[in-house]
Amino acid sequence: MTPRQWAVRIVNQLQKAGFQTLWAGGCVRDALLGIEPKDYDVATSATPDEVQQLFGIKKTLAIGKSFGVITVLGPKSAGHIEVATFRRDGGYSDGRRPDSVEFTDAKEDALRRDYTINGMFFDPITEEVIDYVGGQEDIQRKLIRAIGDADQRIEEDKLRMLRGVRFAATYGFEIEPKTMVAIQNKACEISAVSPERIGTELRRMLGHSGKARALRLLIEGRLWEQVLPSDIASDFDWSDKVGLLQELDSDFPTLLAAILSGSMVTASTLQDSWRLKNDEVVQADWILANEEKLAQAIELPWSQLQPLLVSPHASKTVDFLQAKLDSGSVADSKRLANSIALCREKLALDEAALNPSPLLRGEDLKELGIAPGPQFKSILDTVRNKQLDGELNSSEQARNWIIDSKQR
C-alpha cells in the first residue's frame, strides 16, 4: 500500500463514521503544483478521542493530542499519517506554538494557517478542492501571501518568515508585498526561533535549486543579517553572492563556503547559531581557507599543490571556483580558468600518480643513523617535496641526498 492509498483509506473510514475529513496543507499544495506529495496530512471534525476509538489505541500515537493531533500507524510501505482535528489556536506567547487550541470547523482551521497555498483542503473521495483562503488563485499568480493579517500570522509563529522565503524560493514564487513588509518589520524577532529550526530551514532552502532566489529574498526580507551572529559585521554586500549561487550546483557545505567567501566570516562562527554539523563546518572552512591557493594552482610547484588536491574537499573547491568563473565575478579569468583546468587534470589521475608512496619513512632515517626527534618531520617533509617536484625519484636517491647533506 502506498502513502496515498493509506491516506485515502483513512479519509474514507472517517467519512463513513460520519466525520467531515479532508486532506490538508502541503499535500494539497503540492498536488495542485503537479508535485507528488512526500507525505499526507488529514484534517477532520472528529476529536482526538474519536480518532483513537475508530482506529484503535494500538494503531495510534497520541504524542500531539494536546494540539488535536493523533498519528495513525499504517502498513510499513505506507508509513504514518497525522490526523488533526479542525481547530483555532489561542495566543502564541512563545512566538512558536499556540498556548491553547479550540476544536472548530474546516473554515476556521484554514484561517489559522500560515500562507494561502498551505490553507487548502482536498476531498480525495469526491476529488474536490475546498479553498476558503484563495490558495488556488495565488498558485496561479505564483504568489506567497499570508492568510488574513500578515503581521498577526508572523506574530503567532516567527518561523513563518523563513518558511515564506523557502516556499517562494522552492516554487519560483514572489512574496506578496504586504506579506514581505510584515517579514521585514518582524525580521529582528527571528531570534525567538530555536537555532535548530533556523538551521533546518536555511539548509533546506540553500540546498535547493532555488538557492539564489532564497538568498535574494532573505536579504530583501532583512532576515539574512538577523540569522547571522550578532557580532558579525553586516556591511558586507551579500547580494553579490546571488549570481554565484545561481551557477553553483553542489552540496550545502560548498554552497555555504561560496556565500561566505570574501566576507571574513567562517562556518565555525555560524556553527552554534545554525546548529551546523561538524563535517559541514570542516568542509566549508577548508574551502574558505584554500580557495585562493587553488585559484593560483598554475603558479604553485607540485609539492605545494599536491597536498591540497589529495584533500577530500579539493574537488568541491574546484567546483566552487568554476562557478565563480562562470558567474563573471573574477578579475583574472584566464589565470583562474587555467588553474581550474590544471586541478581537474591532476584530480583525474589515479591514486598512485596523484599521491605516490613516500620514498622514505622514519625507520629509514633511523637506519641512516639519524636519532628520532623534531628533525624527523623536517627531513621527511623536505624529501617528500623533492620527490613530488621530481628532484628525487627513488628511495636510493633520497638516501644518498640525506647522506650528502650530513657530510656538508
Contact between 73 and 60 (Cβ < 8 Å): yes
2/28 same-domain check: yes
Radius of gyration of the chain (CA): 29
388/336 same-domain check: no
The pLDDT tens digits of the residues spanning 377-390 come to: 899 999 999 999 99
Residue after which a domain boundary falls, among 337, 354, 371: 354
In a domain, 267, yes or no: no
The pLDDT tens digits of the residues spanning 146-159 come to: 999 999 999 999 99
> How far is C-alpha 379 from the chain's CA centre?
44
Contact between 47 and 27 (Cβ < 8 Å): no
9/106 same-domain check: yes
Domain at 4, CATH number: 3.30.460.10
373/335 same-domain check: no
* Mean pLDDT of all residues belonging to the chain: 92
Is a pLDDT exceeding 70 seen at residue 36?
yes
322/370 same-domain check: no
> Using 50, 70 and 90 to split pLDDT, how confident is the model at 93?
low
> Using 50, 70 and 90 to split pLDDT, how confident is the model at 371?
confident
Is a pLDDT exceeding 90 seen at residue 306?
yes
The whole-number pLDDT of residue 362 equals 87
Q: What is the mean pLDDT of residues 264-284?
A: 94
In a domain, 187, yes or no: no
d(CA 323, CA 246): 8
Handedness of CA 119, 157, 163, 69 (dihedral sign): negative
Asked which of 77-81, 145-149, 328-332, 340-344 is least confident by mean pLDDT, the reply is: 328-332
7/69 same-domain check: yes
In a domain, 315, yes or no: yes
> Using 50, 70 and 90 to split pLDDT, how confident is the model at 89?
confident
Q: What percent of the chain has pLDDT over 70?
A: 96
Q: What is the mean pLDDT of residues 156-185?
A: 97
348/367 same-domain check: no
Residue after which a domain boundary falls, among 135, 164, 181: 135
Distances (CA, A) of 204 to 100, 216, 274: 29, 15, 12
Q: What is the mean pLDDT of residues 61-87?
A: 92
Residue 400 belongs to domain spanning: 362-407
Continuous segment of H or E residues that includes residue 388: helix 374-388
28/78 same-domain check: yes
Is a pLDDT exceeding 80 seen at residue 202?
yes
107/11 same-domain check: yes
What is the domain count for the chain?
A: 3
Is a pLDDT exceeding 70 seen at residue 96?
no
338/391 same-domain check: no
d(CA 224, CA 273): 13
Tally Cβ neighbours within 10 Å of residue 60: 20
CB burial of residue 397 (10 Å; 0-12, 13-18, 19+):
middle
